[in-house]
Chain A
Amino acid sequence: MANVKLIDVCKVYNGKVRAVSDFNLDIKDGEFIIFVGPSGCGKSTTLRMIAGLEEITSGKIYIGDKLVNNIEPRDRDIAMVFQNYALYPHMSVFDNLGYSLKCHHEKKEIIKEKVENVAKLLNISELLQRKPKELSGGQRQRVALGRCLIRNPKAFLFDEPLSNLDAKLRVQMRSEISKLHKQVKGTFIYVTHDQIEAMTMGDRIVVMKDGFVQQIDTPTNLYEHPINVFVATFLGSPQMNIFKVKLENNSLIFDDKTSLNLSQKIINKMIDGYNDKPLLLGIRPNDFDLSDSKDYDFKVDKIDLIEKLGNETLLYVDLPGREESTIISLKMNIVDDLKGPIYLKVNKDRIHLFNENNESILKINEYNFINANLKLNNDNLIIDEKYQIDNFSKKSISDITNINSGYIRVDSNLFTLKKENDNDYQIEVKIIAKDIRSNSNVYFANKVKDNIRITFITNKDINYEVNSKVKLFVSLNNVSVCDENKNILMVNDDILKPIIDVNIKQFSKEYYIITNEKPFAKRNKYLLIEKIYDLNNKMILICKNQNQENLTLRIDKNDDFFNGMLIYTKYKKDKTK
């Protein structure tokens, strides 16, 4: 068994179709991880890249400590179950199970022993002499599983293995695979488009859409803390109801002027700056409850439809802020002979708020922007008259000569709780709310002096109470400096100066730098983007050319660019000269 690591993995077909972009994931040894998403989201492609059946366009894949980018599937020591089982039709079940051992030149006696053990484990001992065509779907599935188990590989890959089975068998095999994982304690990577499979089987789930990872977390955290509307509506059945609302003084106003007061817990987790702005409100069907006429959030005159499912009852009703019916899930025994009008109450601690870009405003900030006094002293940058960054001009990505105030940008996961260097930047915060993620605790806090909102992430074993005060530290090597408009002025990275301003144009889905400088075109036939810095209306691209030389480009902002992308160079004579 081994851990599997994907770093900036991209897959582009024929230089045109981008199937997977910037995939980063660290799968721990023995973890059961699920890739889930709608058809065409790149989940199977990613799995096939891990298996080596698909070449990766850029990035790195490690299985154990070994970089496997250029290693053949047979040498990666992995096993895979295919959607259509892919059993060898001309071989008996015994030969199917023993084929991989034969390929690895195992002795006949050992093959026999191992095949019999696996057959016993999967209850297929009596089928060993049969051919695949003589087996039922479930039996074939077991043989396919057995073929994986026999070799004790570093990782088990499953490509929608249950999608060809009927509903009953699927539920049975689902639990068997989960049991099997507990038994063999292997690293399982499982692809499915079925959210129930994802929620019930995995330790962690990777939700994907259009080739991009949307969110990676445990099933509970994905359900409780979706990062955007897609994740919120994709996971959970029936899906989350999304309403159009406006935020006014900690209340949500619907289009018919109905208002819903936010709970303090939600207010504490909210990112600033959304007052008076349109938002999307997400409420899961089971977060509604029946109430009475004295204490309610919504009054519903008519119920459009009632669906009794046995263990729960679904009500379809019209609520403000939505064009389609709102689904409400209630316990069965409450709703016998239910007629309108009914009064609904919402569990306000469990609502979700999203901005216009469909992203949650209750999410963990990736970055914290902290107000700072900035001053240039010769080539050194002085922050808050206390902290000093040397050789500013070498690190800056804008040509700044004079600066008074701005922000320092700190990643939420880079704060430490102990001072490590004398020159560490220090702030004191007061915790206002706490969330739990897969391996960490997330704290929402306010800076004590000027009430700036800070998010910081700690190990799961570090616990603070709400309202407690905490001192946070961050190394100056880990901060970026921004101007008043939050444009990045300086990053602590290997930026090669001078920064070259270029225009990038797209021809037949490929991107070209059109240059009239022959030496530049000759030296840089193509450039591979390694890192992107967003500067509001500009972007800095850290690139490598075909000779592995670094160079830094500045271009107009364009969302089409991604890490691992290739840009070609085209020389064109400047006729105006």
Chain B
Amino acid sequence: MRRTFNNLSTNKQVKKVLSAVFIYCILIIVSAIFFFPCLWLILSSFSKTGSLYDIEGFFPKEFSFDSFIKLFTDTSQYNYPMWLLNTLIIAIFNCIFSTLLVIGTAYTISYFQFKSRKGLMKGALILSMFPSFMGMTVIYILMTQFNIVNNIWGLILIYSCTAPLGYLVQKGFFDTIPQSIYEAAKIDGATNARIFSTITLPLAKPIIVYTALTSFAWPWSDFILPKLLLIDKNNWTVAVGLMQLQQNEFSRFAAGSVFIAIPIVVLYFFLVKYMVNGMTAGAVKG
């Protein structure tokens, strides 16, 4: 009897190990599929000759740091540092303005009960269902009318003003803060502004970090809008600039792509804890 039991438990363990091996194999394959393009890009950025055609199989023949050095030194034709600075300015200011606007919108819609609240929410939901590039022509014409085409501040304006449409995750988070906390603060003598600054904001730290990070990352890697609105070479963002490189400058393109990914990756690593909190709080409870 005991023996049978032992046999049974061994069988169970073998099954468990086999299923784990199977699952890990699948995970490794999927990771490899996803990671391979990154690896290929990273390795290509170290190519010595820099051409797309100077590659054996998948990988470059010779490796060097030339592409990275050229990225910052050879600025006569392709001014990468300038593009990087432009991208940084756009991302930082968009991060500030968008976060303020999105958090403000989400808090207003979640906390205050006003007449057109439901209409506004429905309108925003419908508008956000359309792909953003549908309005490209209109945006371009409007920007020309206001004479802010080819101006990074125009781009920041567009990014910041369209950001509040995506307030739903943040509203979901604010909805989870119990109404009685606000009511207690009201009775304690706090004004709406004080409630927002001393109660809502500290409680909403995860969602603020999440909003700031996504607002920073979006223009950092966006291509369509900057391509449309930024004409002058010196106003280009990294994404637009890199697309203009010649075919034989492929390793430079790769180096530029790798370099631009670094700040985002670092930021993600530092703030991932808050991000996950913010995303789950907004998504699950909202």
Task: Name the residue of chain B whose CB is nearest to the CB of A159.
Answer: B180
Q: A338 at the A/B interface (Cβ < 8 Å)? A: no
- Asked if residues A74 and B202 are in contact (CB atoms below 8 Å), the reply is no
Within the complex, the shortest CB–CB distance from A160 to chain B, in Å, comes to: 12
Q: Which residues of B contact A103 (CB under 8 A)?
A: 185, 188-191, 194
**Least distance between A569 CB and chain B CB atoms (Å):** 24
Bound Cα distance A86, B199 (Å) = 12
8 Å CB interface, B155-190 against A: 178, 180-181, 183-190
State whether the Cβ of B96 lies closer than 8 Å to any Cβ in chain A: no
Which of A77-85, A302-310, A436-444 lies at the binding interface? Answer: A77-85
Residue interface bits A431-470, CB-to-B below 8 A is 1, else 0: 0000000000000000000000000000000000000000
Cβ-based interface call for A575 (8 A)? no
**CA distance in complex: A151, B202 (Å):** 24
| A89, B180: Cα distance in complex, Å | 12
A54-108 residues with Cβ-Cβ distance < 8 A to B are: 72-74, 76, 78-80, 82-84, 86-90, 99-100, 103-104
State the Cβ distance, B169 to closest chain A Cβ, in Å.
Answer: 21
- Known A-B contacts A86-B178, A88-B181; the reply to A53 vs B202 at CB < 8 A is no
**At the interface, is chain A mostly helix, strand, loop or mixed?**
loop
Which residues in B have their C-beta under 8 angstroms from that of A87? 181, 184
A154 within 8 A of B: no
- Interface: B203 (CB within 8 A): yes
Question: Contacting B189 at CB < 8 Å: which of A53, A84, A104?
Answer: A104
CB of B190 within 8 A of CB of A74, answer yes
Contact, CB under 8 Å: B185 / A88:
yes
Q: Point out the residues of chain B lying under 8 angstroms from A140, CB to CB.
A: none
Are the CB atoms of B178 and A74 closer together than 8 Å?
no
With A88-B199, A90-B202 known to touch, is A100 a contact of B181 (CB < 8 Å)? no
Q: Closest CB of chain B to A74's CB: distance in Å? A: 4
Residues of B close to A79: CB separation below 8 A: 187-188
Q: Is the CB–CB distance between A73 and B186 below 8 Å? A: yes
Which residues in A have their C-beta under 8 angstroms from that of B186?
Answer: 52-53, 72-74
Decide if A74 touches B189 in the complex (CB within 8 Å).
yes
Nearest-Cβ distance from residue B4 to partner chain A, whole angstroms? 48
- Rounded to whole angstroms, the CA-CA distance of A424 and B198 in the bound complex is 64
**Do B185 and A80 touch across chains, with their CB atoms under 8 A apart?**
no
Contact yes or no, A89 B203, CB < 8 A = yes
In the bound complex, do residue A74 and residue B181 qualify as a contact, i.e. CB atoms below 8 Å apart?
no
Name the residue in B184, B191, B202 with the highest tally of chain A Cβ atoms < 10 Å from its Cβ. Answer: B184
B184/A86 in contact, CB under 8 A: yes
Minimum CB–CB distance from B194 to chain A (whole Å) comes to 6
A52 to B181, CA, bound (A): 15
In the bound assembly, the distance between CA atoms of A84 and B182 in angstroms comes to 13
Nearest A-chain residue to B188, judged by Cβ:
A100
B226 to chain A minimum Cβ distance, whole angstroms, is: 39
A9 contacts partner chain B, Cβ-Cβ < 8 Å: no
The answer on a CB contact under 8 Å between B183 and A86 is yes
Given contacts A86-B181, A103-B194, contact A80 B203 (CB under 8 A): no
A residues near B190, Cβ cutoff 8 Å: 74, 99, 103
Q: When the two chains form their complex, are residues A99 and B202 in contact, meaning their CB atoms are under 8 A apart?
A: no
A86-B203 in contact given A74-B187, A99-B188 (Cβ < 8 Å): no
- Whether the Cβ atoms of B181 and A80 lie closer than 8 Å is no
* Interface flag for A330 (CB, 8 Å): no
Chain A residues within an 8 Å CB radius of B184: 80, 82, 86-88, 147
Given A84-B180, A86-B181, A147 and B188 touching (CB < 8 A)?
yes
* Complex interface residues of chain B between 194 and 215 (CB less than 8 A to chain A): 194, 198-199, 202-203
A540 within 8 A of B: no
**What is the CB-to-nearest-CB distance from A338 to chain B, in angstroms, rounded to a whole number?**
50
Please provide the chain B residues from 229 to 272 with a CB less than 8 Å away from any CB of chain A in the complex: none
Q: CB-CB < 8 A to A88: which residues of B? A: 181, 184-185, 199
Contact status of A53 and B188, CB under 8 A, knowing A89-B203, A103-B194 = no
- Contact string, A276-287, partner B, CB cutoff 8 A, digits 1/0? 000000000000
Whether A86 contacts B180 by the Cβ 8 Å rule is: yes
* Chain B residues within 8 Å of A53, by CB: 183, 186-187
Task: Determine which of A72, A74, A90 lies in contact with B188 in the assembled complex, contact meaning CB atoms within 8 Å.
Answer: A74
Q: Is the CB of A73 within 8 A of B191?
A: no
A36 contacts B by Cβ under 8 Å: no
Q: How far is the CA of A151 from the CA of B190 in the complex (A)?
A: 14
**A6 touches B (CB below 8 Å):** no
Measured CB to CB, the closest approach of chain B to A271, in angstroms, equals: 45
Residues in A with CB closer than 8 Å to B180 are 82-84, 86
Minimum CB–CB distance from B11 to chain A (whole Å) comes to 46
Query: Is A245 an interface position by the 8 A CB rule?
Result: no
Q: Is A162 an interface residue (CB 8 A)?
A: no
Closest CB pairs A-B (n = 8): A100-B188, A103-B189, A86-B184, A86-B180, A74-B189, A90-B202, A73-B186, A82-B180
Q: A72-B186, A88-B185, A90-B202 are in contact. List 9 more A-B contacts (CB 8 A).
A: A51-B183, A52-B186, A74-B191, A80-B184, A88-B184, A88-B199, A99-B188, A103-B185, A103-B191
Between-chain CB contacts (< 8 Å), 16 pairs: A53-B186, A79-B187, A80-B187, A84-B178, A86-B184, A87-B181, A87-B184, A88-B181, A88-B184, A88-B185, A89-B203, A90-B202, A103-B185, A103-B188, A147-B184, A151-B189
Chain A residues with a Cβ under 8 A of chain B: 51-53, 72-74, 76, 78-80, 82-84, 86-90, 99-100, 103-104, 147, 151
